[in-house]
Amino acid sequence: LDNYYPPAFIAGRLYVFYEGVTSFDARTGKERLREKYRVNEDGLALTEAEPIFTEGFIYVSGHGRVRAISRQTGDTEWEAKDLGLTPEMILIGDVLYVRTGGQFTRIKDGDIAERGSYGVSAIDVRSGKVLWRYKGADKGITNLLVPDRNTIAIADRDDVIFIDATSGKRTARFPHKIERAAFGLLNERGDVVIGGQSEIAAFDPVSGRQLWQIG
Protein backbone atom coordinates (compact mmCIF):
# COMPACT_ATOMS: atom_id res chain seq x y z
CA LEU A 1 0.00 0.00 0.00
CA ASP A 2 2.95 2.36 -0.56
CA ASN A 3 1.95 5.68 -2.17
CA TYR A 4 -1.65 5.34 -0.97
CA TYR A 5 -3.40 6.73 2.08
CA PRO A 6 -3.37 4.30 5.02
CA PRO A 7 -6.41 2.15 5.86
CA ALA A 8 -8.82 3.48 8.49
CA PHE A 9 -11.01 1.70 11.07
CA ILE A 10 -14.19 3.74 11.58
CA ALA A 11 -17.44 2.61 13.25
CA GLY A 12 -16.77 -1.09 12.82
CA ARG A 13 -15.61 -0.90 9.23
CA LEU A 14 -12.20 -1.06 7.57
CA TYR A 15 -11.66 1.40 4.72
CA VAL A 16 -8.84 0.77 2.23
CA PHE A 17 -7.77 3.38 -0.33
CA TYR A 18 -6.06 1.31 -3.01
CA GLU A 19 -7.16 2.18 -6.55
CA GLY A 20 -10.27 3.78 -5.12
CA VAL A 21 -12.06 3.11 -1.85
CA THR A 22 -13.17 -0.28 -0.49
CA SER A 23 -14.80 -0.99 2.87
CA PHE A 24 -15.08 -4.26 4.79
CA ASP A 25 -16.94 -5.34 7.88
CA ALA A 26 -14.17 -5.31 10.50
CA ARG A 27 -15.52 -8.51 12.15
CA THR A 28 -16.32 -10.68 9.15
CA GLY A 29 -14.20 -9.18 6.36
CA LYS A 30 -17.26 -9.01 4.10
CA GLU A 31 -16.93 -6.35 1.42
CA ARG A 32 -19.64 -3.71 1.41
CA LEU A 33 -18.37 -0.74 -0.58
CA ARG A 34 -16.23 -0.83 -3.72
CA GLU A 35 -15.74 2.44 -5.54
CA LYS A 36 -12.96 2.09 -8.09
CA TYR A 37 -11.20 5.09 -9.59
CA ARG A 38 -7.74 5.91 -10.81
CA VAL A 39 -5.22 7.30 -8.31
CA ASN A 40 -1.46 7.94 -8.52
CA GLU A 41 -2.07 9.54 -11.92
CA ASP A 42 0.77 9.93 -14.42
CA GLY A 43 3.03 7.84 -12.20
CA LEU A 44 2.89 10.41 -9.40
CA ALA A 45 2.22 9.63 -5.73
CA LEU A 46 -0.82 10.94 -3.84
CA THR A 47 -2.45 12.92 -6.61
CA GLU A 48 -5.73 12.36 -4.77
CA ALA A 49 -6.69 13.98 -1.46
CA GLU A 50 -6.80 12.33 1.95
CA PRO A 51 -10.39 11.11 2.41
CA ILE A 52 -12.68 13.12 4.69
CA PHE A 53 -15.17 11.26 6.90
CA THR A 54 -18.34 12.80 8.31
CA GLU A 55 -21.22 11.13 10.12
CA GLY A 56 -23.01 10.36 6.87
CA PHE A 57 -20.48 10.53 4.06
CA ILE A 58 -16.95 9.88 2.85
CA TYR A 59 -15.53 12.54 0.54
CA VAL A 60 -12.85 11.23 -1.82
CA SER A 61 -11.06 12.53 -4.89
CA GLY A 62 -9.29 10.97 -7.85
CA HIS A 63 -9.07 11.15 -11.64
CA GLY A 64 -10.20 14.78 -11.69
CA ARG A 65 -13.34 14.15 -9.64
CA VAL A 66 -14.60 14.58 -6.09
CA ARG A 67 -17.18 12.09 -4.83
CA ALA A 68 -19.55 11.94 -1.86
CA ILE A 69 -20.12 8.32 -0.85
CA SER A 70 -22.89 7.37 1.59
CA ARG A 71 -21.53 5.49 4.59
CA GLN A 72 -24.92 3.84 5.06
CA THR A 73 -25.46 2.47 1.55
CA GLY A 74 -22.03 2.69 -0.08
CA ASP A 75 -23.57 4.51 -3.04
CA THR A 76 -22.09 7.62 -4.66
CA GLU A 77 -24.50 10.43 -3.79
CA TRP A 78 -22.90 13.00 -6.09
CA GLU A 79 -19.82 13.55 -8.19
CA ALA A 80 -18.11 16.83 -9.13
CA LYS A 81 -16.23 16.34 -12.41
CA ASP A 82 -13.44 17.92 -14.48
CA LEU A 83 -11.58 19.49 -11.57
CA GLY A 84 -8.08 18.29 -12.50
CA LEU A 85 -5.62 16.74 -10.05
CA THR A 86 -7.15 17.19 -6.59
CA PRO A 87 -4.50 16.45 -3.91
CA GLU A 88 -6.11 18.36 -1.02
CA MET A 89 -9.59 18.92 0.43
CA ILE A 90 -10.75 20.93 3.46
CA LEU A 91 -14.33 20.74 4.77
CA ILE A 92 -15.69 23.90 6.42
CA GLY A 93 -19.38 23.78 7.25
CA ASP A 94 -21.26 22.75 4.13
CA VAL A 95 -18.47 23.65 1.71
CA LEU A 96 -15.61 21.46 0.54
CA TYR A 97 -12.59 23.48 -0.59
CA VAL A 98 -10.39 21.62 -3.05
CA ARG A 99 -6.87 22.45 -4.20
CA THR A 100 -6.05 21.53 -7.78
CA GLY A 101 -2.50 21.00 -8.98
CA GLY A 102 0.72 21.07 -6.99
CA GLN A 103 4.05 19.33 -6.50
CA PHE A 104 4.16 15.53 -6.50
CA THR A 105 6.73 12.78 -6.06
CA ARG A 106 7.39 10.69 -9.16
CA ILE A 107 7.09 7.06 -8.07
CA LYS A 108 9.77 5.58 -10.35
CA ASP A 109 12.67 7.81 -9.28
CA GLY A 110 11.54 9.99 -6.34
CA ASP A 111 11.95 13.26 -8.24
CA ILE A 112 9.51 16.12 -7.78
CA ALA A 113 7.15 17.01 -10.63
CA GLU A 114 4.72 19.92 -10.88
CA ARG A 115 1.29 19.50 -12.41
CA GLY A 116 -1.51 22.00 -13.00
CA SER A 117 -3.91 23.42 -13.55
CA TYR A 118 -3.31 25.37 -10.35
CA GLY A 119 -6.23 26.71 -8.38
CA VAL A 120 -8.95 26.25 -5.78
CA SER A 121 -12.55 25.07 -6.15
CA ALA A 122 -15.46 25.23 -3.69
CA ILE A 123 -18.12 22.50 -3.71
CA ASP A 124 -21.49 22.51 -1.91
CA VAL A 125 -21.49 19.15 -0.07
CA ARG A 126 -25.29 19.01 -0.03
CA SER A 127 -25.59 18.90 -3.82
CA GLY A 128 -22.10 18.48 -5.27
CA LYS A 129 -22.47 21.77 -7.14
CA VAL A 130 -19.23 23.62 -7.83
CA LEU A 131 -19.83 27.06 -6.33
CA TRP A 132 -16.73 28.72 -7.75
CA ARG A 133 -13.29 28.08 -9.17
CA TYR A 134 -10.22 30.23 -8.70
CA LYS A 135 -7.64 29.76 -11.47
CA GLY A 136 -5.31 32.69 -10.79
CA ALA A 137 -2.35 30.75 -9.35
CA ASP A 138 0.72 30.91 -11.59
CA LYS A 139 3.39 28.23 -12.08
CA GLY A 140 2.71 26.29 -8.91
CA ILE A 141 0.59 26.21 -5.77
CA THR A 142 1.09 25.37 -2.09
CA ASN A 143 -1.34 23.73 0.30
CA LEU A 144 -4.48 25.57 1.41
CA LEU A 145 -4.47 27.83 4.46
CA VAL A 146 -7.55 29.08 6.32
CA PRO A 147 -6.68 32.28 8.22
CA ASP A 148 -10.37 32.71 9.11
CA ARG A 149 -13.71 31.19 8.12
CA ASN A 150 -14.16 33.69 5.28
CA THR A 151 -10.71 33.42 3.72
CA ILE A 152 -8.65 30.85 1.82
CA ALA A 153 -4.93 31.56 1.37
CA ILE A 154 -2.44 29.96 -1.00
CA ALA A 155 0.98 30.78 -2.41
CA ASP A 156 2.05 30.30 -6.01
CA ARG A 157 5.54 30.71 -7.46
CA ASP A 158 5.60 34.47 -6.84
CA ASP A 159 2.82 35.64 -4.54
CA VAL A 160 0.73 34.92 -1.45
CA ILE A 161 -2.91 35.09 -2.53
CA PHE A 162 -6.02 35.61 -0.40
CA ILE A 163 -9.39 34.42 -1.75
CA ASP A 164 -12.88 35.23 -0.49
CA ALA A 165 -14.26 31.86 0.64
CA THR A 166 -17.81 32.81 -0.39
CA SER A 167 -17.27 34.23 -3.87
CA GLY A 168 -13.90 32.85 -4.95
CA LYS A 169 -12.67 36.34 -5.79
CA ARG A 170 -9.12 37.34 -4.96
CA THR A 171 -9.06 39.91 -2.17
CA ALA A 172 -5.30 40.46 -1.81
CA ARG A 173 -1.99 39.46 -3.32
CA PHE A 174 1.56 40.26 -2.26
CA PRO A 175 4.98 38.94 -3.35
CA HIS A 176 6.84 36.47 -1.12
CA LYS A 177 10.21 36.22 -3.00
CA ILE A 178 10.71 32.64 -1.79
CA GLU A 179 12.52 30.41 -4.27
CA ARG A 180 10.32 27.46 -5.34
CA ALA A 181 7.65 27.97 -2.69
CA ALA A 182 6.55 24.49 -1.59
CA PHE A 183 4.34 24.83 1.50
CA GLY A 184 2.47 27.28 3.68
CA LEU A 185 1.32 27.30 7.29
CA LEU A 186 -0.13 29.61 9.91
CA ASN A 187 1.90 30.13 13.08
CA GLU A 188 0.46 30.67 16.54
CA ARG A 189 -0.04 34.39 15.85
CA GLY A 190 -1.84 33.78 12.58
CA ASP A 191 1.04 34.94 10.40
CA VAL A 192 1.37 33.36 6.96
CA VAL A 193 4.59 31.33 6.77
CA ILE A 194 5.87 30.24 3.36
CA GLY A 195 8.71 27.73 2.89
CA GLY A 196 10.68 26.94 -0.23
CA GLN A 197 13.84 25.30 -1.47
CA SER A 198 16.20 26.98 0.98
CA GLU A 199 14.21 29.75 2.65
CA ILE A 200 11.28 30.25 4.99
CA ALA A 201 9.58 33.56 5.72
CA ALA A 202 6.59 34.94 7.61
CA PHE A 203 4.20 37.65 6.41
CA ASP A 204 1.56 39.80 8.04
CA PRO A 205 -1.80 38.49 6.72
CA VAL A 206 -3.29 41.99 6.49
CA SER A 207 -0.55 44.22 5.10
CA GLY A 208 1.61 41.61 3.41
CA ARG A 209 4.68 43.00 5.15
CA GLN A 210 7.47 40.46 5.60
CA LEU A 211 8.03 39.87 9.31
CA TRP A 212 11.08 37.63 9.22
CA GLN A 213 13.06 35.32 6.96
CA ILE A 214 15.45 32.43 7.51
CA GLY A 215 17.83 31.25 4.78
Provide the phi-psi class of 180: left if phi over 0, else alpha when psi is between -120 and 50, else beta: left
pLDDT in tens, 68-78: 988 888 788 99
**Amino acid 80: pLDDT:** 95
> What would the mean pLDDT of 125-134 be, rounded to a whole number?
96
The mean per-residue pLDDT over the stretch 170-183 comes to 92
pLDDT at residue 11, as a whole number? 80
Residue-wise pLDDT for 101-115, tens only, equals 877 767 777 777 677
Global pTM reads 0.86
Q: Omega of the bond prior to 61 within 30 degrees of 0, cis?
A: no
CB–CB of 100/106 below 8 Å? no
